């Protein structure tokens, strides 16, 4: 599996855009709960089937819990039954995808483009009937849902 790049369809360059939301480690620790910090800033993963948005069907926008940037819309959320919220596409330029070789395997990590917080991973070719054949597997604790009015 390669890196995905939504804007142009080609592989991303070696350099990433700089974070627009920059805080010190101490500031992140003050702002986030210990569980949020572990996932968002240390690339942890919450346990499957326990996140508040795993099965949510509420219409709205999912924002980064760390910085508030818009990440996904409910229209792109789908039931994957994998234990975490799944989306088939992020908002334009909302996320950065990078190779993750931790745990002895090759995956593609998804981070917030604005603050570089860890959100989850993206997988392709799993056979879900979505327009992109991608599954953005995102930790609930990485997001907040802003319901539509």
Tens of pLDDT, residues 128-146: 999 999 999 999 999 999 9
Instruction: Count CB neighbours of 85 within 10 A.
Output: 27
Q: Which residues are catalytic?
A: 137
Domain map (residue ranges) of the chain: 25-147
- This prediction has a pTM of 0.86
Fold of 25-147: 2.170.150
Ramachandran category for residue 80: left, alpha or beta (phi over 0 → left; psi -120 to 50 → alpha):
alpha
Q: Residue 60 pLDDT > 70, yes or no?
A: yes
| β-sheet with 70-73: strand ranges across | 70-73, 60-64, 143-147
Predicted local distance difference test score (pLDDT) of residue 17:
73
DSSP one-letter code for 116? -
Is residue 22 scored above 90 in pLDDT?
no
Burial of 97 (0-12, 13-18, 19+ CB in 10 A): buried
- CA nearest to 51, candidates 148, 145, 149, 147: 145
């Amino acid at each position: 599996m390669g890196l995905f790049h939504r804007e142009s369809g080609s592989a991303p360059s070696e350099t990433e855009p700089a974070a627009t939301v920059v805080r010190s480690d101490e500031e992140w620790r003050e702002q986030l709960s210990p569980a949020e910090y572990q996932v968002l800033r240390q690339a942890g993963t919450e346990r499957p089937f326990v996140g508040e948005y795993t099965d949510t069907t509420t219409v709205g926008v999912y924002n980064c819990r760390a910085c508030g940037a818009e990440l996904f819309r409910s229209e792109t959320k789908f039931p994957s039954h994998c234990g975490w919220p799944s989306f088939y596409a992020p908002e334009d330029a909302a996320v950065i995808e990078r190779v993750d070789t931790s745990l002895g395997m090759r995956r593609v990590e998804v981070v917030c483009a604005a603050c570089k917080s860890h959100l989850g991973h993206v997988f392709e070719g799993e056979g879900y009937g979505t327009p992109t054949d991608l599954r953005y597997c995102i930790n609930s604790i990485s997001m907040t849902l802003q319901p539509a009015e």
